[in-house]
Structure 1
């Protein structure tokens, strides 16, 4: 498959951008206004690390970026727009929160007219209280030429979009749009992390497409742990050191045959080859960003990630104690914070990648990111569909 050109909005630490590059897209430009995230990308670019070495990173407020200056056709627009979804009470406000960046994603699509776009966001966007907001996003992306008028309240713009959608007369630029919440653990990521993906194809291409099927499953992990024992044998865990069998073993015993998909990957799968930064700090120094961070403690609702399950969702470090749930819970019940390197493993970022800023700042970048491998499954499927008739 030949290279297609893409643009990455709100690139952050680069989860989607890495996935796009690995899927065969060549980013013409990647954009973010966050200095630390841009410094992370620039440093990895300077070090010649693929795929950053070929990225043109622009640090700016996207609201001032002129998409018209991009030369040549763009096949794909990607990004994770920061948004401030409002509740039902917020619907009475006349205008959208100025921190909402989805209008900029729509502007990019309207200006660049890509063959496809892939946007992702937090699962919370799909909550019932945000239903009108999500439909507003969908209809704007479906009909990007139906532009909000100066001074027009968002609810009036939504009404115009609904009228246009139901009129059956869709002249101009429009996209066929689908949305789905995906769990990263189901796509080979050693972390339970749910994100909503919004994918659109330009309607004149008349493409049919569906989200890729999961490749990994919980039952397959439970089978390998409690039926075949392959999981423990692989990691050379003696029977006396294995965790007590709980509901997982009971569920595994009900399985009639081995599941066809691959097992979910666990924290142990992801980091067992790394030296423990607390007990072996000298060995840990051989790895980028693999330093022990003290102060981890448990409290109600924050108990860390068990070693033999996919990690809990990494947080951006602003919930509760620093790092929130970003902790490993060892077999003996003790906890420590994940290092930046371990967190990058849990997000399926390259081992050679370095992160700019303090532990807290690096964890913010990682906690806001989409797991690269999960995004790669989606983008590879999109790329395959685009190249079938291009």
Structure 2
């Protein structure tokens, strides 16, 4: 199926491995630039975007946002349709110190400065649920800083909600706080719709095909027995716990803290590390046949995040896994993007209609001399002379 020519443009900051970008692309946006500082994530974006006709014109910019000049984008104020981004979450994460605006990693001010300079028609910002949840630690920052600056710039908040990834066909519990704001002439057409009710996509359903292939390709004489054992365990469970990318400062990749590892174990998966891809399999006992069950590969973790199977991740295993674990699930971004596009389409149509009405509006007829509405000064002069 041929993808329709995108009508609306977007620029994304903190693009990471491209989760949000993929979703917005599928929604119908044409990306002009993806801005990211991590070298491995930039390599991933380049690998998938550069030379891909569907992403024609999209630049991958490796930049430190705190030093980035919007002039580099070559856009006039008001020319861009959407500015999107997932600003760093550690300042607001329950797993961190929750320093908020006092954390040097807080890029909300940078994002808002870009909004003020570019004047996009719509803004979409993604962050962790901790930014919105009780205790209301960040309420002042949200309302008096972020929302205030958006209002001052002429934007209307369409919503700021916590969206759960598993409601959008992602086999994972991954709540994220999503802010959408639009210029008034478009915001009035924005319609919030809940995720369509659908059966949960379980881990067993999502991974069955790739897991079967891994076991089969191992060449183990009892691969089918091991696969069926895994599937039986996985089918007892539902969706996965939240994948975490972890920090560059701490060790290798695994599937999260103790509670998450235990949840994975109930799904038949060992969370104590990440497996090599089948083509790089070196230790079957570690990756597939351990007591705790098989470990996930990076590509399987990407399935849990909702990435399309042909999206490639660059870097060594740990770097690639961190990109996946820190990503925004594409299906959620797509759903939000589709709602933004619907409002942009209606707003654009309404503005064009109003402009057309003004263009073809007939001027009011001038009153003819001597008529009731004309200049009566001559009559007054004649009366005065008589």
TM-score, L = length of structure 2: 0.68
**Higher gyration radius (CA):** 2
Q: What is residue 330 of structure 1 aligned with on the other side? A: 268
Q: What is residue 351 of structure 1 aligned with on the other side? A: 309
Q: What is residue 156 of structure 2 aligned with on the other side? A: 175
Q: Is 1:35–2:39 an aligned residue pair?
A: yes
Q: What is residue 24 of structure 1 aligned with on the other side? A: 28
Partners of 1:200 and 1:15 in 2: how far apart?
Answer: 20
CA contact (8 A) 2:23 2:330 kept: yes
Deviations 1:101-130 (A, max 9, x none): 11111111111111111111112222324x
Q: What count of residue pairs does the alignment treat as equivalent? A: 297
Q: Is 1:380–2:323 an aligned residue pair?
A: no
Partners of 2:53 and 2:243 in 1: how far apart?
Answer: 24
CA contact (8 A) 2:24 2:337 kept: yes
Question: How big is the shift at 1:132?
Answer: 4.5
Deviations 1:49-79 (A, max 9, x none): 5755642100010111111332341111111
Q: What is residue 198 of structure 1 aligned with on the other side? A: 179
CA contact (8 A) 2:31 2:55 kept: no
Question: How big is the shift at 1:358?
Answer: 2.1
Q: Is 1:214–2:195 an aligned residue pair?
A: yes
Unmatched 5+ residue regions in structure 2?
A: 221-232, 270-288, 349-386
Aligned pairs for 1:221-300 within 5 A:
261-276=197-212, 279-282=215-218
Q: What is residue 58 of structure 2 aligned with on the other side? A: 55
Q: What is residue 137 of structure 1 aligned with on the other side? A: 142
Deviations 1:206-227 (A, max 9, x none): 5143433122xxxxxxxxxxxx
Q: Which residue of 83, 89, 92 maps to 1:85? A: 92
1:279 match: secondary structure: helix
Partners of 2:236 and 2:174 in 1: how far apart?
Answer: 16
- 4+ residue segments displaced more than 6 Å: 304-307
Aligned in 2, Cα 1:68/1:140: closer, same or farther, shift over 3 Å?
Answer: farther
Deviations 1:124-181 (A, max 9, x none): 222324x353542344443437xxxxxxxxxxxxxxxxxxxxxxxx765333242111
Partners of 2:141 and 2:313 in 1: how far apart?
Answer: 35
Structure with more helix by fraction: 2
Unmatched 5+ residue regions in structure 1?
A: 146-169, 216-260, 285-303
Partners of 1:342 and 1:22 in 2: how far apart?
Answer: 21
CA contact (8 A) 1:49 1:353 kept: no
